Chains A and B, each alone.
Chain A
């Protein structure tokens, strides 16, 4: 009750006496605040009940027209303002499909009434430059922390106003955040990271609060925003990574999981660098080196693995995913040229900036010029714009095709302007970047003005795609560097700092913004080369963390423990054969010997497809998802695992023929599948069950390996 009183006092703000009401900065934001122009209501593309507003008030001119003039002007009644439909409907006095939205006595009703009484003036068109939201901590009774939210708008004319009253704050209902909308007071109830979305005029932003976990019982309340700005630690990138992670862990009151064992670290680094499980030889070499020269062993192994041919396989496969590689199945030459270009780039650790530039600006015969195939991935200017948005800006521009992006700053002009830049691309075998071609802007019904999204309209003599390339890739603070280091971080850590990795937007900020900037700066400083960044991440403590059951409630974005994730189907299929010592039988992988060589995920491959290979457009942008029903059954009874188990070439089949004792075979099985030794109990339990006769013994091993390989310890990256 005391808490309630405190909030009440803090939150009490007396409404100002009414001056002239402004449409852009008061009326529309009020409608937005009450959800009137949300996608589920009048903001839907088709509107509701014949009343159509722009989504979240992004188009003030159109909305003014709809409110004041459409419907024969019956939405406003100047002779009797109180009976205007704009008031009577949402306040429930006249039947309203959306029921009662606000009380007739509410401030909003008063505001709308005043505006109508004043003759519903349009007022001057006012643009907003930026929206800032501050969450000020307030210690509540009992020592917990609540936050008062304040929204400030910086307008185009330079004025700064407090717009807290008319800003729409949105809370994720499942977030465990107590929220008093009237007083703009938030109380995190569940420990962890909380975000509130704020929307005013056509700007959205978010503000973050961290409630510490009660772990160890010594948590102290801190505001993450204040702490993270203190990141100025010296040292190399690896140390700075760990410092950035540690600061947030401290703010969250979390003690991270201890390091994994050395062999588990080896498994992890082999999977990440080469896409393969460590071989027996690698395990032995690592162990003996650990005996003889433990100093610097991890750095040496990271370096060595990056020189391994399998590194080129694994990271070319990742590149193919990033680029959403897809080639016409009848044009083998195009596929080969594209793949050769990618592999060459990975093998020589080429500058990613140069590679990006070539992807954006290459033309010519796509059967010779590998990167020219990038333009052919798209089918038309709009998909081209979306592809570029995803690959180079890490952003989903799609929403802005039909309306200004509701969760970001992208407008329809940005979307169609970017499409217009690539409208003149001839996507045949001979890629030509012509200046011709147009895209019709659906709002103006005229050709869209070519535009660098969020920046400027294309002008001057330099071609649009060159300007775009310069802006996105080569400029002062290119998005591409941040997008790429985020992908590298995601590949190594199992989660992007911005997550999902293709969803950079104003309302989805990085978990560790300074770290993302730091990685991007270092990336540029090191000539846009991937390997130094990978090495720095791999050397960190954050990378080497194990798991700890006590941390199961802690949000993954704190990196308190290793993020366990399923192996991507390609890596899984290769791991089956590496683990068993078999090779993929002829034609089972479209002629390839390893699944990781199949870079075009749109080319059908039954095993990979049934195991849930990520195909574009599905909910698996991160590459692997847990087994659904068909996958489970296939793993149980299908060919992917059973066929290799039956092979004469499995390590255990050969060992049996050579008379190897069971202890040795079981140990080898553990090392191959789990990259660790069995415990004494495990070894005893298994060896006690093994039949003596050859055939039953072989079958026992088949079943046993099946079970090892069906265990999460094999199926996941951990």
Chain B
């Protein structure tokens, strides 16, 4: 229960005695409005963001090998790769991000994210929910909050037959609905989009079932529902069939088509890269085109404790063309941004690339880097995010924030703002507590 809700409603002051009786029904729940009112009133009105694509770099990507290279630092800090200039004058990325570098003038790079949490499970909760982990409550991830929000506000999901929060390929911890429960859980496709056998889990009929039988099942169930509604039976009077969402999804040719990558020209598929992540980005683009509110593409393997050359660039020993984590990421993210822009969708699509923390400034003896949450980077693009901005800076060795420290809570509340959620909006836990959607932090005003 929110203690704020018992504040005196502002207009219910002693001066206005006479109105009290008539105001009673309204005289509740207004107290918390004032908390962040100042912050919201200053926000610019921008084109409405319809979709968010989160590219989740699971394991913690090295800021030093991505968006925050330290060209002049000693070799054990600089790492194995060089850097390249980008479309933002004076700003360098790692040389492995060649395609991203050309698009840097569309992006905002945050170089001063900072968090105290250096363990994967705790850190990914913080980044994905905006709330530091609590033993008392499992907070919902951003995707679940957006799904819940759209479900209750826009019913966007009913328009296209697709779930409001789709992830690929498989779920990672902390990406779920937490206390919001089943209806806000992500729908993970459960299959590798790069595989020729790619099938969205349980979207295809069970063997032996065809359209006729599917329709018959649906009709039969509708008949049972109709009898119930007639009041022949008192059971299950609470709500309609529990399968409407699934029926719509299986039913709609468009929804199947949304997941059908075979329709994409080979050249396009190649441009996104052959791996699961790249094809996931392509799938994400197709879902953005269908206005799915939140899409998460997971790239695994970023917990690079050893041999950065192999894991980050080459992918396998002796590779001629690098197919490691960074080139794979680079192809996927760059193609996604290019395509969204070409389709005029970039302004209404927020693209986020981040992981749970950065990596140690000094290489370890195995040529890798270990967990480092004290400073790390993230990339934002589209959805009203400023173009060509580098916000914050780490110090000379990428060890600590040098200026403008930003917490994950700051980031998440700012992202929520871009996604059309207002600062005063709240969620309710099953046991009746009121929880602010915006985590306790400061808005990143440079992004608003």
Q: Considering only CB atoms, which chain A residue lies closest to B430 in the complex?
A: A619
- Residue among B7, B185, B206 making CB contact with A628, cutoff 8 Å: B185
Known: A173-B5, A630-B185. A547 touches B235 (CB 8 A): yes
Distance of A568 from chain B, by nearest CB (Å): 13
Distance of B378 from chain A, by nearest CB (Å): 22
B236→A564 contact, CB < 8 A: yes
- Measured CA separation A171–B1 after assembly (Å): 8
Q: Considering only CB atoms, which chain B residue lies closest to A260 in the complex?
A: B234
- Measured CA separation A172–B12 after assembly (Å): 18
- Measured CA separation A396–B206 after assembly (Å): 43
Q: Considering only CB atoms, which chain A residue lies closest to B132 in the complex?
A: A45
A546 at the interface (CB under 8 A from B): yes
- Measured CA separation A56–B28 after assembly (Å): 20
A181 at the interface (CB under 8 A from B): yes
- Residue among B31, B35, B249 making CB contact with A633, cutoff 8 Å: B249
Known: A40-B35, A549-B231, A629-B185. A178 touches B135 (CB 8 A): no
A665 at the interface (CB under 8 A from B): no
B182 at the interface (CB under 8 A from A): yes
Task: Report A542-576 residues with CB < 8 Å from chain B CB.
Answer: 546-549, 552, 564
Instruction: Give the interface segment out of B15-23, B56-64, B384-392.
Output: B15-23
B188 at the interface (CB under 8 A from A): yes
B25→A620 contact, CB < 8 A: no
Residues of B within 8 A of A3 (CB): 21
A179→B185 contact, CB < 8 A: no
Distance of B30 from chain A, by nearest CB (Å): 9
B6→A612 contact, CB < 8 A: no
B317 at the interface (CB under 8 A from A): no
Instruction: Give the interface segment out of A58-66, A70-78, A344-352, A699-707.
Output: A699-707
- Residue among B1, B138, B235 making CB contact with A712, cutoff 8 Å: B235
- Measured CA separation A298–B217 after assembly (Å): 37
A629→B187 contact, CB < 8 A: yes
B75 at the interface (CB under 8 A from A): no
Contact with B along A635-647 (1 / 0, CB 8 A): 1111100110010
Instruction: Give the interface segment out of A31-39, A121-129, A300-308, A315-323.
Output: A31-39
Distance of A578 from chain B, by nearest CB (Å): 19
Instruction: Give the interface segment out of B83-91, B222-230, B272-280, B295-303.
Output: B222-230
Known: A619-B180, A629-B246. A706 touches B430 (CB 8 A): no
A633→B201 contact, CB < 8 A: yes
- Measured CA separation A533–B162 after assembly (Å): 48
Residues of B within 8 A of A503 (CB): 431
- Residue among A34, A100, A685, A711 making CB contact with B225, cutoff 8 Å: A711
Instruction: Give the interface segment out of A4-12, A275-283, A487-495.
Output: A4-12
B159 at the interface (CB under 8 A from A): no
Q: Considering only CB atoms, which chain A residue lies closest to B234 in the complex?
A: A547
Residues of A within 8 A of B2 (CB): 38, 40, 170, 173
B232 at the interface (CB under 8 A from A): yes
Task: Report B352-400 residues with CB < 8 Å from chain A CB.
Answer: none
B236→A500 contact, CB < 8 A: no
B179→A619 contact, CB < 8 A: yes
B8→A181 contact, CB < 8 A: yes
A179→B432 contact, CB < 8 A: no
| Residue of A179, A189, A552, A681 with highest tally of chain B CB at under 10 A | A179
- Measured CA separation A174–B231 after assembly (Å): 30
A197 at the interface (CB under 8 A from B): yes
Residues of B within 8 A of A708 (CB): 224
B4→A35 contact, CB < 8 A: yes
A35→B7 contact, CB < 8 A: yes
Known: A547-B234, A703-B213. A646 touches B183 (CB 8 A): no
Known: A40-B32, A180-B20, A630-B185. A171 touches B6 (CB 8 A): yes
Residues of B within 8 A of A4 (CB): 18-22
Residues of B within 8 A of A172 (CB): 1, 5, 432
B245 at the interface (CB under 8 A from A): yes
Residues of A within 8 A of B231 (CB): 549
A44→B440 contact, CB < 8 A: yes
B224→A40 contact, CB < 8 A: no
A179→B27 contact, CB < 8 A: yes
A24 at the interface (CB under 8 A from B): no
Task: Report A415-447 residues with CB < 8 Å from chain B CB.
Answer: none
A399→B136 contact, CB < 8 A: yes
A632→B245 contact, CB < 8 A: yes
A635→B213 contact, CB < 8 A: no
Residues of B within 8 A of A98 (CB): 34-35
Task: Report A575-604 residues with CB < 8 Å from chain B CB.
Answer: none
B252 at the interface (CB under 8 A from A): no
Q: Considering only CB atoms, which chain A residue lies closest to B35 in the complex?
A: A98
- Measured CA separation A638–B8 after assembly (Å): 54
B233 at the interface (CB under 8 A from A): yes
A718 at the interface (CB under 8 A from B): yes
| Residue of A100, A170, A171, A630 with highest tally of chain B CB at under 10 A | A630
Q: Considering only CB atoms, which chain A residue lies closest to B3 in the complex?
A: A38
B182→A631 contact, CB < 8 A: yes
Q: Considering only CB atoms, which chain B residue lies closest to A197 in the complex?
A: B1
- Measured CA separation A37–B344 after assembly (Å): 48
B46 at the interface (CB under 8 A from A): no
- Residue among A101, A398, A638, A715 making CB contact with B202, cutoff 8 Å: A638
- Measured CA separation A625–B19 after assembly (Å): 44
Residues of B within 8 A of A627 (CB): 182, 242-243
Residues of A within 8 A of B225 (CB): 711
A1 at the interface (CB under 8 A from B): yes
Residues of A within 8 A of B25 (CB): 178, 189
Q: Considering only CB atoms, which chain B residue lies closest to A632 in the complex?
A: B246
A716 at the interface (CB under 8 A from B): yes
Distance of B386 from chain A, by nearest CB (Å): 25
A35→B6 contact, CB < 8 A: yes
Residues of B within 8 A of A632 (CB): 242-243, 245-246
Q: Considering only CB atoms, which chain A residue lies closest to B39 in the complex?
A: A97
A630→B232 contact, CB < 8 A: no
B34→A718 contact, CB < 8 A: no
- Measured CA separation A524–B5 after assembly (Å): 42
A618 at the interface (CB under 8 A from B): yes
A180→B202 contact, CB < 8 A: no
- Measured CA separation A713–B14 after assembly (Å): 55
B24 at the interface (CB under 8 A from A): yes
- Measured CA separation A197–B434 after assembly (Å): 14
Distance of A548 from chain B, by nearest CB (Å): 7
Residues of B within 8 A of A716 (CB): 235-236
Known: A4-B18, A547-B237. A630 touches B34 (CB 8 A): no
Residues of B within 8 A of A500 (CB): 430-431
A707→B201 contact, CB < 8 A: no
Q: Considering only CB atoms, which chain B residue lies closest to A264 in the complex?
A: B235
B208→A637 contact, CB < 8 A: no
B342 at the interface (CB under 8 A from A): no
Task: Report A92-127 residues with CB < 8 Å from chain B CB.
Answer: 97-103
Residues of A within 8 A of B38 (CB): 97, 99
A628→B183 contact, CB < 8 A: yes
Distance of B231 from chain A, by nearest CB (Å): 7
- Residue among B20, B217, B227, B242 making CB contact with A703, cutoff 8 Å: B217
Other A-B pairs, 13, CB within 8 Å; known A99-B35, A637-B250: A40-B2, A44-B440, A56-B3, A98-B35, A103-B13, A173-B28, A181-B9, A189-B25, A199-B3, A632-B243, A636-B250, A642-B209, A711-B225
Q: What are 15 A-B contacts defined by CB distance under 8 Å?
A: A8-B17, A35-B7, A44-B440, A178-B24, A181-B12, A197-B1, A618-B176, A626-B183, A629-B187, A638-B201, A702-B213, A703-B220, A704-B220, A708-B224, A712-B236
9 cross-chain pairs, A with B, having the tightest CB-CB distances, nearest first:
A4-B21, A712-B236, A173-B29, A178-B24, A628-B182, A632-B246, A707-B220, A642-B206, A398-B136
Q: Which residues of A contact B (CB under 8 A)?
A: 1, 3-5, 7-8, 33-35, 38-41, 44, 46, 56, 97-103, 168-174, 177-183, 187, 189, 197, 199, 257, 386, 396, 398-399, 401, 407, 500, 503, 507-508, 546-549, 552, 564, 612, 617-620, 625-639, 642-643, 646, 679, 681-682, 685, 699-700, 702-704, 706-708, 710-713, 715-716, 718
